[in-house]
Structure 1
């Protein structure tokens, strides 16, 4: 709001004071926006993931902005309160948050729900704060675009330089798999670059000096980073955003020279990044993900393994929602409650953790009504900005609407194929698109301070302090997880930590690993390695109340029971472990071997039938046949069993050899 009201009664000093005040408000808004975008450059602080640190940082920023509002209530004037109250986006978003909170009451794992809900609250407060900041600086849209462009330049350059460094240490193919920047994952890195591209395009089309070419260079780096990851969702959304931007851009009345210059500044980075990426892919000599951009796009079909897995996960999410249509399974509980559904598709102890579709995940966790509400938020943003871009006579209003739309395109595609809801770097841009949708170009009028502003400021600070506390607890838990991963106690006989140390920490928020395993389960493994059998069994029982689905708890109970010579109990625990993970090769082999030692041929056949339903290979028939033979299975029955195997694998030499040996001995 750069134009103050010129009251005839005001003196020149008063006018100068108002100008200084507006300059201060605008400067603070730009500063806080810049601070938000520092999220991609935070250190890990010894955590296993960057996400807890990022949420802690966002909470800290929210507190700072809340205090700023309390001290300067004019930044949250009556006009903005009226704007927010009239726009349905706030109401729908608030309803979404409330239902997420209510779903905690049905959650099996309340700890996970509280952590997830606190993160949703953080995002909601960032939305309120972003609306406040943009309301006071939306006229500085191009400065904001340049700020975002500067951080995008640093992010993309950092990732690409790391790629070059890693390729010199190892090889190009290995280096490509480490292209994560500071986001923790390839898909997150690519999406976080793609969602910032709309700001680059806006800046390139506006600036006519060195800033244009700096942002054009940044666009090249960002697109190269996106393409090199091989992330199809980000790749498609990046190209689509450029196409849509150029479509809307050609509708504006620009001089021919300006149009040509801007098109060159946008298309050249796209073309160069395409050729650079394909050149790097050729050097990788990969035949899969990193063959070429065209090949990667062509892999988008239902025959592709990752696409097929997504369809399976989506089906599981719908099944969970159908069983719990009103409030779902509880916000944040998908990573645990999905395990029983995935036991026939997950390999070893791996689980999906997310359904790779935020709409379906929210529906499964909080019910059908809230799933519709979440989709409605995006739909409202889409409709409102399409209307603004078509009906508004103000060119800057049109540009704001276009920017919000393009951000929504990237976020919407990523939401349909991945899980940006719990990725702070993506949530930040999402709530910015909501804020951009609500704010309008300020009129030449003086804002009116409101008594409600301070109250709202205090409320924002209070809630942000609560989320800060939970974020800090998740940081401490993630730091413990990092130490546990380094110890690798699943394989090693001992680690730097002890069972007592892990047990004494007893993290509550969250109470499971980022991979869904209970911390109590790991305390039990430490105790088992230390031969402290009673404590190990006690913590396994505690872990079973948190996440018993993976089968590892039952497996370690089998180990303990076998150690204590309780063979019947050992047999029960081992079968529990296998049937909870019937695709696990290790559990299958252990189960048939143990059943063989007990001469349990019926048990061997049941285990074999279950395992081979999901894991088809001739080796499985061979191993089962050997187990049956050691269990004194009759020759006639053995021949019948091997013949069944030969029906599926008629030329398998090992099965043929086993059959011939049986025939000779008859």
Structure 2
């Protein structure tokens, strides 16, 4: 799945690069920026409308968390808004009165929605792009009359400032209208939280775990996309009930953990290359006409970089699409400089690219379709994970495709099917599925949990105790594993073991 996503992202970028190669950047940059600004306006209005509608029926925390649009959560929504801000700014700077006014309104509504979403990482990103734009404007126009410096800055800063105070007022009223204080509040409170209690945050713990894994596996990592498995030995001391952190909340550390130091540096090198290229285009006199284009693209890339440093945008289609487009736009001016590059002609190399690309994209589509089928089944099967399963065995068996072999939460697909085999008293079939999938995720010990139930039904108390203890002592924060271990010790009348299990469980969960 991760490789399929990577292949798709790569070919989207190369196709963008080919489409923009040697084209006059002035002919397409503004139309693209207008299109992106329209998407920003639509998404912003959707966030504001939903927030206003939910304000009457939801507490503030619940309301903010629900503002995800078509994204996975509100943090992704916020990041996908922010990365479009530079293009709305370009519309303001390169349009006449009507376009300029509309661009300012888009920036206001986008900023208002961003502040309502209360996402700290985007506040950091917004501050950085403000600094980049202000510094570049002052540097390149220092010898110009002051209005040429003041007006561009005003077009960007004023709508954001008005949105800041407006959103802060709205959020303050929302906090005062509810009886309890939740985790979210005013914009100023959220900004203060950026530096508060950072040592206690799970994000720092995940970074430390990732760096430790890289230090122990510097050349060959856990495999692309496997961090959610490699993180379990680190996180099982802190997370309850088989919760697995899917990501390291830092794409650079996660890339190094997955691919080794070389892979991590290669990913980081992409952004270093983009920065050096931007610097080169800023400083070259014969690239003076491209400075604003480069600045806008670099600002958008900075938004992605901040998100990648604090979250995991490689998993988000909306962010990957903007990354490929932004990279294509950033590199485009390079080939418009004198004596740079040769005109591409359709030859055997281009044909080979087309064939390879078609094969890889076709494979990616097939893999993504299989994963989508699995996700549809997981939605129902996981809904029964904490209750007695109701779905028919045949329905579950036939619905799951051959891959993936793990659920989104890293539970083993064959183990999930084994639950239904166990329910129908097909003990041998259930145990066979568990044996076949033991190596798919050896850290979770969910197979041992199912085995405990199977052997309890078969009245094999020694096996019950063996697998119940194996599961619990490898993940002692799990309530289900704890109950099984207590049950097994009780059946064996082992009071010392009961006390040991009880004390260990309560040490971590009181």
Aligned length: 498
Q: Does the C-alpha gap of structure 1 residues 550 and 301 become closer, same or farther in structure 2, counting only changes over 3 Å?
A: farther
Q: Distance in 2 between matches of 1:191 and 1:575?
A: 44
Q: Distance in 1 between matches of 2:191 and 2:483?
A: 39
Choose which of 551, 557, 561 in structure 1 pairs with 2:455.
561
Q: Distance in 2 between matches of 1:435 and 1:187?
A: 25
Alignment of 1:143 onto 2:31? yes
TM-score normalised according to structure 2 size: 0.90
* Alpha-carbon offset, residue 125 of structure 1: 0.9
Q: Distance in 1 between matches of 2:254 and 2:204?
A: 13
Cα displacement string for residues 403-440 of structure 1 (whole angstroms, at most 9, x for unaligned residues) = 23212211111111111122121122222333233222
Q: Distance in 2 between matches of 1:356 and 1:392?
A: 40
* Alpha-carbon offset, residue 270 of structure 1: 1.2
Retained in 2: the 8 A contact 1:490–1:525? no
Cα displacement string for residues 291-325 of structure 1 (whole angstroms, at most 9, x for unaligned residues) = 222222222247247x6211211222223223322
* Alpha-carbon offset, residue 150 of structure 1: 1.0
* Alpha-carbon offset, residue 131 of structure 1: 0.8
Task: Please name the residue that 2:315 is paired with.
Answer: 422
Task: Please name the residue that 1:489 is paired with.
Answer: 384
* Alpha-carbon offset, residue 256 of structure 1: 5.3
Task: Please name the residue that 2:406 is paired with.
Answer: 512
Task: Please name the residue that 1:538 is paired with.
Answer: 432
Larger mean CA deviation between 443-452 and 327-336 belongs to 443-452
Q: Distance in 2 between matches of 1:204 and 1:595?
A: 71
Q: Does the C-alpha gap of structure 1 residues 396 and 425 become closer, same or farther in structure 2, counting only changes over 3 Å?
A: farther
* Alpha-carbon offset, residue 342 of structure 1: 1.4
Q: Secondary structure at the match of 2:223?
A: coil
Task: Please name the residue that 2:168 is paired with.
Answer: 278
Unmatched runs of 5 consecutive residues or more in structure 2: none
Retained in 2: the 8 A contact 1:127–1:435? yes
Q: Distance in 2 between matches of 1:415 and 1:293?
A: 22
Q: Distance in 1 between matches of 2:431 and 2:351?
A: 54
Alignment of 1:372 onto 2:372? no
Task: Please name the residue that 2:416 is paired with.
Answer: 522
Larger mean CA deviation between 392-401 and 575-584 belongs to 392-401
Alignment of 1:230-379 (within 5 A): 230-253=118-141, 260-282=150-172, 283-284=174-175, 285=178, 287-301=181-195, 303-304=197-198, 308-379=201-272
Retained in 2: the 8 A contact 1:473–1:509? yes
Q: Distance in 2 between matches of 1:301 and 1:580?
A: 35
* Alpha-carbon offset, residue 204 of structure 1: 1.5
Q: Distance in 2 between matches of 1:503 and 1:375?
A: 42
Unmatched runs of 5 consecutive residues or more in structure 1: 1-114, 618-666
Q: Secondary structure at the match of 2:264?
A: helix
Choose which of 290, 304, 308 in structure 2 pairs with 1:397.
290
Q: Distance in 2 between matches of 1:587 and 1:598?
A: 17
The Cα RMSD (Å) is: 2.5
Task: Please name the residue that 1:462 is paired with.
Answer: 359
Choose which of 393, 405, 408 in structure 1 pairs with 2:301.
408
Retained in 2: the 8 A contact 1:167–1:174? no
Q: Distance in 2 between matches of 1:150 and 1:515?
A: 36
TM-score normalised according to structure 1 size: 0.70
Q: Does the C-alpha gap of structure 1 residues 436 and 549 become closer, same or farther in structure 2, counting only changes over 3 Å?
A: same
Higher RCO (C-alpha 8 Å, min separation 6): 1
* Alpha-carbon offset, residue 338 of structure 1: 1.8
* Alpha-carbon offset, residue 597 of structure 1: 4.1
Choose which of 588, 591, 608 in structure 1 pairs with 2:485.
591
* Alpha-carbon offset, residue 162 of structure 1: 2.5
Alignment of 1:163 onto 2:51? yes
Q: Distance in 2 between matches of 1:138 and 1:275?
A: 37
Task: Please name the residue that 2:114 is paired with.
Answer: 226
Q: Secondary structure at the match of 1:367?
A: helix
Q: Secondary structure at the match of 2:248?
A: coil
Q: Secondary structure at the match of 1:549?
A: coil
Cα displacement string for residues 324-344 of structure 1 (whole angstroms, at most 9, x for unaligned residues) = 221211111111232122110
* Alpha-carbon offset, residue 509 of structure 1: 3.5
Alignment of 1:449 onto 2:345? yes
Q: Does the C-alpha gap of structure 1 residues 592 and 458 become closer, same or farther in structure 2, counting only changes over 3 Å?
A: closer
Q: Secondary structure at the match of 1:544?
A: coil
Q: Does the C-alpha gap of structure 1 residues 503 and 545 become closer, same or farther in structure 2, counting only changes over 3 Å?
A: farther
Larger mean CA deviation between 276-285 and 342-351 belongs to 276-285
Retained in 2: the 8 A contact 1:507–1:519? no
Q: Distance in 2 between matches of 1:120 and 1:537?
A: 36
Cα displacement string for residues 535-585 of structure 1 (whole angstroms, at most 9, x for unaligned residues) = 333333333232242233212211121111111111111111212211223
* Alpha-carbon offset, residue 443 of structure 1: 7.0
* Alpha-carbon offset, residue 473 of structure 1: 1.7
Q: Secondary structure at the match of 1:179?
A: coil
Task: Please name the residue that 1:119 is paired with.
Answer: 5
Q: Does the C-alpha gap of structure 1 residues 155 and 500 become closer, same or farther in structure 2, counting only changes over 3 Å?
A: same
Q: Distance in 1 between matches of 2:337 and 2:216?
A: 51
Larger Rg computed on CA atoms:
1
Choose which of 168, 188, 191 in structure 1 pairs with 2:76.
188
Task: Please name the residue that 2:67 is paired with.
Answer: 179
Retained in 1: the 8 A contact 2:80–2:319? yes
Alignment of 1:476 onto 2:373? yes
Retained in 1: the 8 A contact 2:206–2:249? yes
Q: Distance in 2 between matches of 1:290 and 1:239?
A: 20
* Alpha-carbon offset, residue 170 of structure 1: 3.4
Retained in 2: the 8 A contact 1:551–1:580? yes
Alignment of 1:577 onto 2:477? no
Alignment of 1:78-93 (within 5 A): none
